[in-house]
Structure 1
Amino acid sequence: MPTALERIDLRTSGETKALIARAAATAGMSVSAFLLSAAQERAKVVLSQTESLTFTARDWEAFVTALDQLDQPRPKLKAAMERYRIWHARQTDA
């Protein structure tokens, strides 16, 4: 079953519309296809900048070292979890 297409509406100046239409025609695309293509490319760039990490060699070593220590005991975390269990038990008993 085909997925329903969503609609995006926007308003712009005549000058901007003409510019986009000219660029779309030059690229051999419809205005809609041109806008969607440009928006998708920009969205991927923006998301890749916020959803990925770039480490220096020193930072990478620190990151890997921290990951290697995940199985180390964490007394403060264990105590906090126990306090939460006690608090939660009191809430459900009330």
Structure 2
Amino acid sequence: MTTTAARLDLRLNTRDKDRIALAAALRGVPVSAFVRDAVLREAEAALAADMTITLSPEESHRLIAALDKPFTPSAKLKQAMERGLTLAVRTAETDAPPAFGVRPRGTEPLANRLRGRATARMGTDEIMQLTRGA
């Protein structure tokens, strides 16, 4: 069981407070638990709506076409990518940077993993899972 560390105070008119108390009683839970659950559900819905990108069929096709194109980084981007890979991959056992161009996970291109899914409503977490090869 987790301990409560933070408080949230709320001002309501009597009518609203009575309605909430009645609803909580109908569910058989304390008012604070009822309010917490309702607020968390609404917060999750708001966050999901903000983090979800909806593409039209035309936008989906353009995204897939762009992902299908071969990627050739500029010299500056290649240097930045090499530095990023070096920082992310070095361990205590080895100080050698990784070879450039090594795919970290899986061999399937991102476009193939997204194909057939881009027209559906996808959240940021779902897209990130696909990009990580999960």
Q: Secondary structure, in 3 states, of the residue corresponding to 1:7?
A: coil
Identity of aligned residues (%): 34
Q: Report what 2:57 is aligned to.
A: 57
* TM-score scaled by length of structure 1: 0.66
CA distance 1:4–1:41, shift in 2 (3 Å):
closer
Structure 1 unmatched ranges of 5 or more: 79-94
- Divergent runs of 4+, >4 A: none
| Structure with greater helix percent | 1
What is the CA–CA distance in structure 2 between the aligned matches of 1:5 and 1:70, rounded to whole Å?
51
Letter in 1 for 2:35: L
Give the root-mean-square deviation of aligned CA atoms.
Answer: 2.2
Q: 2:11 aligned with 1:25, yes or no?
A: no
Q: Residue 44 of structure 2 corresponds to which residue in structure 1? A: 44
Question: Which whole-Å CA distance do the structure 2 matches of 1:25 and 1:70 have between them?
Answer: 60
Q: Which residue of 1 aligns with 2:120?
A: none
Higher relative contact order (CA 8 A, sep 6+): 2
Q: TM-score, normalised by structure 2?
A: 0.48
Q: How many equivalent residue pairs?
A: 75
